[in-house]
Amino acid sequence: MGVDSLGYMALKVSKLDAWRALLEQVFGMEPRERDGAIDYRIDSYHHRLTLTLDTTDSVEAIGWEVGTSEKLAALVDRLKGLGVAVVEEGPALRAQRKVKELYSFTCPMIGNRQELYYGPLISNTPFAPSRGISGYKTGTLGLGHVVYWVKDLAASVKFYQDVMGFAISDYIAWDDNDAVFMHCNKRHHTLALMQDGPNTPAGELMHLMVEANSYDDVGYGYDLVRDMGIPVMIEPGKHSNDHMQSFYLQTPSGFWLEYGYGGLEIGPDWEIRNYDAPMLWGHRFVGG
């Protein structure tokens, strides 16, 4: 039951040129321009990210992929049963997202716009990266993972377990903050939720992680980020829970992007753990 992977993310951005430089020169993503927006391809899917020029910056939507129409209908029914207003999207947005069936709702926990779909469009031509990278680890693992701050952590975790079909991977507690990591496929976590704070408002995206097929992709990316003057927020390091080797940069919209390699895949015999730090080594906050 529930969602099967993180499928896509659509962003409204005010600094389109800076975003283009980041996604094409650093991340090697393949632009597909259309009227008023740029879709970015990173694998066999038509696209995984969309940038739309706007006056302000926001995450327009995150898209959850569901494997079949029947599972999608069951999930929509479950949301409606809780009183969540779910909208069946018409042909115009379906054509933009390149999916067969599409629904949208405002998450009652995070407060953001979320979309549910099945039937993504697959391209028959190979992904043509903008720089020499080995590509991205996606497939059934999905686009990557997202981390959000929420007002009510316990209720949010329960919602993502009982309604959206996630299971807890583990917890990390540090500096009086709690993070709960959750999976919906073999990727160690597709969603993590953290308690909000004075400078970390509920509903804001903390970061999106994308996973490279090689550590060299990440290493060359790190050099490019430094050379281009893009702010590094967390230095290279290795996470305690999913063993992702990664670094974090600040996007032109403010939220962070984690560029990682080597994340754990987990199976049905996974045992939930509780870590006292997010890193094994490295991952020093810049300036901290």
CB-nearest residue to Fe ion: 209
Half-sphere exposure (CA, 13 Å, Cβ side) for 128? 5
Nearest CA among 135, 144, 146 for reference residue 44: 135
Question: How far is the first Cα of the chain from the last one, in angstroms, to the nearest whole number?
Answer: 42
Closest contact distance (angstroms) between CB of 36 and Fe ion is: 30
**CA gyration radius for the chain?**
18
Closest contact distance (angstroms) between CB of 247 and Fe ion is: 11
Contact criterion met (CB below 8 Å) for 105 and 90: no
- In this complex, which beta carbon is closest to Fe ion, that of residue 63 or of residue 278? 278
Which tokens in the block code for residue 256? 């962070």
Place of tokens 């407060």: 111
Closest contact distance (angstroms) between CB of 41 and Fe ion is: 22
Contact criterion met (CB below 8 Å) for 171 and 153: no
Closest contact distance (angstroms) between CB of 200 and Fe ion is: 15
| Chain residues in the site for Fe ion (CB under 5 A) | 209, 258
- In this complex, which beta carbon is closest to Fe ion, that of residue 115 or of residue 258? 258
Contact criterion met (CB below 8 Å) for 182 and 168: yes
- In this complex, which beta carbon is closest to Fe ion, that of residue 97 or of residue 189? 189
CA distance 49 to 63: 10
Count CB atoms within 10 A of the CB of residue 198.
5
- In this complex, which beta carbon is closest to Fe ion, that of residue 8 or of residue 248? 248
Alpha helix positions (H), 38-146: 69-81, 91-97
Closest contact distance (angstroms) between CB of 207 and Fe ion is: 6
Closest contact distance (angstroms) between CB of 258 and Fe ion is: 4
- In this complex, which beta carbon is closest to Fe ion, that of residue 37 or of residue 143? 143
- In this complex, which beta carbon is closest to Fe ion, that of residue 205 or of residue 209? 209
